[in-house]
Amino acid sequence: MTVTITAFESSPDRGRGLARDMRVRWALEEVGQPYEVRLLSFAEMKEPAHLALQPFGQIPSYEEDGLVLFETGAIVLHIASRRTGLLPQDEAARKRAVAWMFAALNTVEPPIVEHSMALVLERDKPWFAARMPMLEQRVDQRLEQLSRALGDAEWLECGFSAGDLMMVSVLLRIRSSGLLSAYPNLEAYLARGEARPAYQRAFAAQLTAFERSRAER
Ligand code: GTB
């Protein structure tokens, strides 16, 4: 089986593992599936060849022997369903792990992305100072709820799962804001995710890709 994903040729995060190919790389590393990466420039992401794989002109896309997927939720769920290691055996626990994947993408990620985008795109706008506390409060509400749900547990659902992979990936984007410091159990949760050998292999691979492309420019 040959798996090929796409990623930024030059990631705006400078290889800090925040672009969304990272969660797919991590899932592939967790299940021991080798993969190839096709790096794309911003212009190439909007060309017909890539739009045929990813209708929104984004990364990552996923190709596997004729199967083409887009959306990291669908891609990680596919990987987790095909190989062991990312979903519990017990059916109820498996369904709850999938629920945590959806929670990460649909409930926790939207306010985090809105907060991050405002920091990047709206700093010079007249409304920025008034809007920021509201965006921080929306993120904090989700962090407080998630912190309560996790409690003292190591992972969200009886052992590390694709739900944790997705949740940790989503939370990493907010770490530099300092908002996580109110929730030591979430900080420890992120550290456990980052300590996983599969995470570290995925992180090293995307950093190497960024550094190579910078050296070639
Ligand atoms: N819902 C889609 C999915 O989960 O697959 C979202 C995919 C997505 O947003 N991809 C982004 C993209 O291709 C890259 S990851 N953007 C280009 C475009 O839309 O034209 C988002 C991202 C970019 C940069 C940072 N960063 O610099 O920290 C973090 C995350």
Would you call 64 helix, strand, or coil by DSSP? strand
What pLDDT, on the 0 to 100 scale, is given for residue 125? 94
By 3-state DSSP, what share of the chain in percent is helix, strand and coil, each rounded to 5?
Answer: 60, 10, 30
Per-residue pLDDT of 156-197, as tens digits, reads 998 999 999 999 999 999 999 999 999 999 999 999 999 999
Q: How far is the CA of 91 from the centre of ligand 1 (A)?
A: 32
User: Which of ligand 1's atoms lies nearest the C-alpha of 16?
Assistant: 28
**Global pTM value:** 0.97
User: Which of ligand 1's atoms lies nearest the C-alpha of 113?
Assistant: 30
Q: Residues near 209 by Cβ (< 8 Å), separated by ≥ 6?
A: 7, 11, 15, 37, 39
Specify the CATH class of 91-196 in words: mainly alpha
Strand-pairing partners, residue 6, are 38
Per-residue pLDDT of 20-44, as tens digits, reads 999 999 999 999 999 999 999 999 9
Four-way CATH pick for 3-85+198-216: 3.30.479.30, 3.40.50.1820, 3.40.30.10, 3.30.870.10: 3.40.30.10
* For the chain, domain boundaries: 3-85+198-216, 91-196
Q: Which of 58, 70, 77, 109 to mutate to test the pocket of ligand 1 (most atoms within 8 A of CB)?
A: 58
Whole-number Cα distances in Å, 186 to 24, 48, 122, 154, 211: 22, 41, 28, 10, 30
Amino acid symbol at 167: M
Which is it for the CA torsion 176, 118, 7, 105, positive or negative? positive
